[in-house]
Amino acid sequence: MRRRILAAAFSLLAAPALPQSTLRIGIGADPNVLDPAQSGSFVERVVFSALCDKLVDVGPDLSFRPELATAWEWSEDGRALTLKLREGARFQDGVPVDAAVVKANLDRYRTARESRRRGELQKVTEVQVADSLTIRLVLSEPFAPLLSVLSDRAGMMLSPAVLPLAERVGENPVCSGPFRLTRRVAQDRIEMEKHAGHWNAADIHFDRLVFLPIPDNNVRLLNLRSGQLDLIERVAPSDIPAVERDRRLRLVSGASIAYQTMSINTGHGPAGQRPLGRDARVREALELSIDRAVINQVALEGRFTPNNQPEAPGTAYHFPDLAPPARDPARARELLRQAGHERVAFTLKVPNQPVESQVAQIIQAMAAEGGFDIRLEVLESSAMVAATQRGDYEAAIAIWSGRPDPDGNISFWLASDGFLNWGRYANPRLDALFNEARAATATAQRQRLYREAAGIWLAERPHLMLYHHRWFWAMRADLQGFTPAPDGIIRLAGLRIAR
């Protein structure tokens, strides 16, 4: 594996430089599928930022701002949302973005067999066309997270020409974003060219865009420093000093709503019936075996924030009284004995990225003192997604890039119908609390509901949240106009090379 990564790096270093009007971005993994309906990984959202406009975008302050929709209004009873669409917006094949096409997209997301957005839009009972540029989403009950949902993949619009492809949309996605797909070579590159008919084309300053998936952080940085890349995402904490010392480069950091978690299979197939998934005492023992602060200091250079919750410390839906327990390997071993085990062995699946691999190795070493024998299995991004979706895992480390609304940071993992509930965890009371919180609009009421929900899942431990990220990007020093975003997504508008 290491030889293959280095060979890819040397291939990039030897490649001829692309024209100045090409922006080359190094990303941490190869996307699995370029269809917003079927997408489930963070890196796909990075690529979609170039390919597919959304109805609503999220600003650096996490407020909602216009994209394909220029205005929106809730009904008085909170059971309908009306959106006014942008006049003159067109898909990359020239077809206008109108209300009928938006309805077709939203209906696909709500009902299609292949759609992973159905749970996100389950409260939408009907999408109505009011006029050519106005749509109305009718809800079964008030649903506070709806704008947040429409600011992600459920709000991305595809041309009507490709919608009939259904499960094969990802082979030839035609969206309305600032760049259109021209070629994709799996595990190698994604090539795009500027969509001249884009509504914001005047603020797009590159004719071509290339995403290069390079899982190895050091190799990504090597290609940036050699001039083969212009911008890289997710700079490893250990590489930050090297970037800061290089006058040809610039480091940009920003606050993050993303977090790292360990998903545990508690009920999806045979893997969910093994000791870790079957017994909450074993999962408690695993948590007592690890120290999040040590993980942060050793693997992350102390630059991230240890945390056991999906909301960052200091924010409205983080609960300080539910702090993680102190590390206690002796108590962990005692819990295992109570559960009938001297030691417990399981496999932890890990993304093929150096930082996550180091985090997993630290967990492996600490957990050994608590009575666990962990085997690490390192997988490419697409293989990881496929394995977790079919329940072929006991535990897996994953990143969640974060959402502006608290529902989007927890229910997708833990609700019975959550599209990322890989381990099939189910708790009827938790489902009820999530539903109540979605229908509430007052912060105090939602805090009470999410606090009760947290008390349930923190005790049952279908997930062990590990830490909140801080985003780090590195770029050539003359690349201007980059604005960091808490969701980690690269916005391309305004980016240009200084002349």
Q: Which residue has the higher pLDDT, 3 or 230?
A: 230
Q: Is residue 414 part of a domain?
A: yes
Claim to verify: residue 463 and residue 317 sit in the same structural domain: yes
Instruction: Name the amino acid, one letter, at 121.
Output: L
Under the banding of pLDDT at 50, 70 and 90, the label for residue 397 is very high
Q: Do 306 and 442 reside in the same domain of the chain?
A: yes
Both 142 and 269 in one domain: the answer is no
Co-location of 322 and 452 in the same domain: yes
In a shared domain, residues 293 and 410: yes
> Based on the domain organization, do 406 and 432 belong to the same domain?
yes
CATH number of the domain residue 267 falls in = 3.10.105.10
Last residue of a domain, one of 99, 132, 165: 165
What's the whole-number mean pLDDT along residues 106-119? 96
Q: Which helix (H) or strand (E) holds 439?
A: helix 428-439
Residues 222 and 291 in one domain: no
Please identify, among 165, 189, 210, the residue that sits at the C-terminal boundary of a domain: 165
Tokens 């009902």 belong to which residue?
Answer: 111
Average per-residue pLDDT in the chain? 94
Q: Which long-range contacts (CB under 8 A, 24 or more apart) does 373-378 make?
A: 373/343, 373/344, 373/345, 373/346, 374/345, 374/346, 374/347, 374/348, 375/345, 375/346, 375/347, 375/348, 376/347, 376/348, 376/350, 377/347, 377/348, 377/349, 377/350, 378/1, 378/350, 378/351, 378/352
Report the chain's C-alpha Rg in angstroms: 23
DSSP conformation letters of 364-428: HHHHHHTTEEEEEEEE-HHHHHHHHHTT--SEEEEEE---SSTHHHHHHHHSTT-TT-TT----H
Q: Beta strand 134-139 with 179-185: parallel, antiparallel or unpaired?
A: unpaired
In this prediction, what percent of the chain has a pLDDT beyond 90? 93
Answer yes or no: do 82 and 149 share one domain: yes
Q: Is residue 84 part of a domain?
A: yes
482 lies in the same domain as 463: no
Query: Is residue 45 domain-resident?
Result: no
pLDDT given for residue 2 in this prediction: 42
Write the single-letter amino acid at 205.
H
CB within 8 Å of 223: residues ≥ 6 apart: 9, 12, 13, 26, 212, 214, 229, 232
Which residue range is the domain that position 486 belongs to?
A: 2-28+178-255+471-497
- Distances in Å between the Cα of 215 and the Cα atoms of 27, 75, 175, 187 are 7, 46, 27, 10
Please tell me whether residues 387 and 282 are part of one structural domain. yes
Does a structural domain hold residue 170? no
Residue 165: pLDDT above 60? yes
pLDDT tens figures, 402-427: 999 999 999 999 999 998 999 999 99
**Strand partners of residue 131:** 134
pLDDT digits (tens, 9 = 90+) for 64-104: 999 999 999 999 999 999 999 999 999 999 999 999 999 99
By the 8 A CB rule, do 196 and 173 touch?
no
pLDDT of amino acid 462: 98
Task: Decide if 17 is inside a domain.
Answer: yes
Query: Total domain count for the chain?
Result: 3
Indicate which CATH number applies to the domain containing 250. 3.40.190.10
In this prediction, residue 441 carries a pLDDT of 87
Output the six-digit token pair for 354: 């150096």
Residues 396/272, Cβ–Cβ less than 8 Å: no
- In angstroms, the CA 451 to CA 77 distance is 26
Q: Is residue 121 part of a domain?
A: yes
Same domain? 386 vs 437: yes
- Is the pLDDT at 1 greater than 70, yes or no? no
Q: Which of these three, 165, 189, 207, is where a domain ends? A: 165
Question: DSSP secondary structure string, 210-228?
Answer: EEEE---HHHHHHHHHTTS
433 and 476 belong to one structural domain: no
Does residue 360 form part of some domain?
A: yes
Region 363-378 average pLDDT: 98
The CA-based dihedral angle spanning residues 474, 152, 424, 455, taken in that order and rounded to the nearest 10 degrees: 80
Assess if residue 33 is contained within a domain: no
pLDDT in tens, 209-232: 999 999 999 999 999 999 999 999
Q: Are strands 231-232 and 249-254 parallel, antiparallel or unpaired?
A: unpaired
pLDDT in tens, 321-346: 999 999 999 999 999 999 999 999 99
The CATH number of whichever domain residue 100 belongs to comes to: 3.90.76.10
Residue 461 has pLDDT above 50, yes or no: yes
Q: For residue 381, what pLDDT is reported?
A: 83
Which pLDDT score is estimated for 4?
Answer: 42
